[in-house]
Amino acid sequence: MIYILMGFGWPLHEGDEFHPLENIEKMARGEALTDQDRFPWLLRLHEVIERERCCGGNALVACSALKRLYRQILLYGTRAFTCSQSGSQQEVPPPPPLPPACSDICFLFLHGDYHVIYQRLASRKGHYMKAILLRSQFDTLEPPSDEENVLSLDITTNTITDMVEKVEKHLMSRKKLLLV
């Protein structure tokens, strides 16, 4: 990711730095995060995105937005959650669906062969997320659809230079963009 930013001078917001301590401790023990664990983290990242958007700047937020709901939370915050009344027999009609994308936010979907990614994670030094958690992430993954304003990059078949060129080309086709 850092290579992508070098040519643009954009700030990088590393999602791992926004995890609550409880999430970090859980992953360090080799335990997969649940949706409930991830929601506060995703809402913090939504705040970062909104702050960048309000300032009119460009930035990159690096995180594993594994599910469509997670990406919706990044885009819309708490509005991404379905409304319901607890304890009521009468159901509240759901709010109108949110658009799948924002024109000023693009998701980079970095994907690749499980074994290649596992080896890269296993060779990392000093990171709290254990490589054994990769299986749970692959099991949770809902690849983004084209309607989500996504640029898909296969990390096992593209070099870093190839990926940077593809990102630059994609960015040049847009005025302002936050990459998530």
Q: Which residues contact 16 (CB under 8 A, 6 or more apart)?
A: 62, 63, 127, 129
pLDDT top residue among 155 and 168: 155
Calpha distance 35→68 (Å, rounded): 12
pLDDT value of position 142: 95
- Which of 3.90.550.10, 3.50.50.60, 3.40.50.300, 1.20.120.1200 is the CATH number of 2-179? 3.40.50.300
Report pLDDT digits (tens) over 76-132.
Answer: 999 888 633 344 444 545 555 677 667 788 888 999 999 999 999 999 888 888 888
Highest-confidence segment of 2-11, 25-34, 95-104, 164-173: 25-34
DSSP SS3 for 62: strand
Calpha distance 44→77 (Å, rounded): 9
Q: Name the E strands within the chain.
A: 12-14, 59-62, 105-111, 150-154, 178-179
Average pLDDT of the residues of the chain: 83
Output the six-digit token pair for 123: 């060779």
Per-residue pLDDT for 174 more than 80? Answer: no
pLDDT top residue among 169 and 138: 138
61 and 73 Cβ atoms separated by less than 8 Å: no
Per-domain residue ranges of the chain: 2-179
Report pLDDT digits (tens) over 136-149.
Answer: 999 999 999 988 98
